[in-house]
């Protein structure tokens, strides 16, 4: 089955490619180039408010553009999102409940880091 995918872009930011990792039913996007984490995805997985990433120092985050599929039309739209580097990710984990933080850190070191190292 050949599906036509159309890219719709308007932002001046270059489009960043992501890989998806799964943690307890949540999909977390990580940028392929520098392995930064999409802040909103991490907040959802850690059961934090989507805007908790605003508490992270600016030097640990960045604005990038990723493509997001919407609807059944086969369109991919750019979406500007905040990313967190590894230090920002660890800082954000500190806002989670102890149980969630421990589960996430275990997953991070046992599954995510080895996979990302393999990709590098």
Enter the pTM of the model: 0.81
Give the distance between the most distant pair of CA atoms in the chain.
46
- H helices then E strands: how many in the chain? 4, 6
Neighbours of 48 (CB within 10 A): 20
| pLDDT per position as a tens digit, 7-27 | 445 556 677 888 899 999 999
Region of 61 please: left (phi>0), alpha (psi -120 to 50) or beta. beta
CA distance linking residue 106 with residue 114, whole number of Å:
12
| pLDDT per position as a tens digit, 51-103 | 898 899 999 999 988 877 655 556 667 788 999 999 999 999 999 999 999 99
């Amino acid at each position: 089955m050949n599906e036509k995918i159309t890219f719709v872009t308007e932002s001046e930011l270059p489009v960043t490619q992501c890989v998806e990792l799964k943690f307890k039913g949540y999909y977390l996007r990580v940028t392929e180039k520098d392995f930064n984490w999409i802040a909103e995805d991490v907040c959802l997985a850690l059961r934090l408010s989507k805007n908790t990433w605003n508490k992270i120092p600016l030097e640990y985050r960045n604005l990038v553009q990723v493509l997001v599929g919407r609807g059944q039309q086969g369109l991919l739209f750019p979406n500007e999102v905040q990313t967190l580097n590894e230090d920002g990710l660890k800082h954000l984990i500190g806002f989670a409940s102890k149980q969630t933080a421990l589960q996430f850190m275990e997953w991070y070191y046992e599954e995510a880091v080895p996979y990302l190292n393999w990709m590098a």
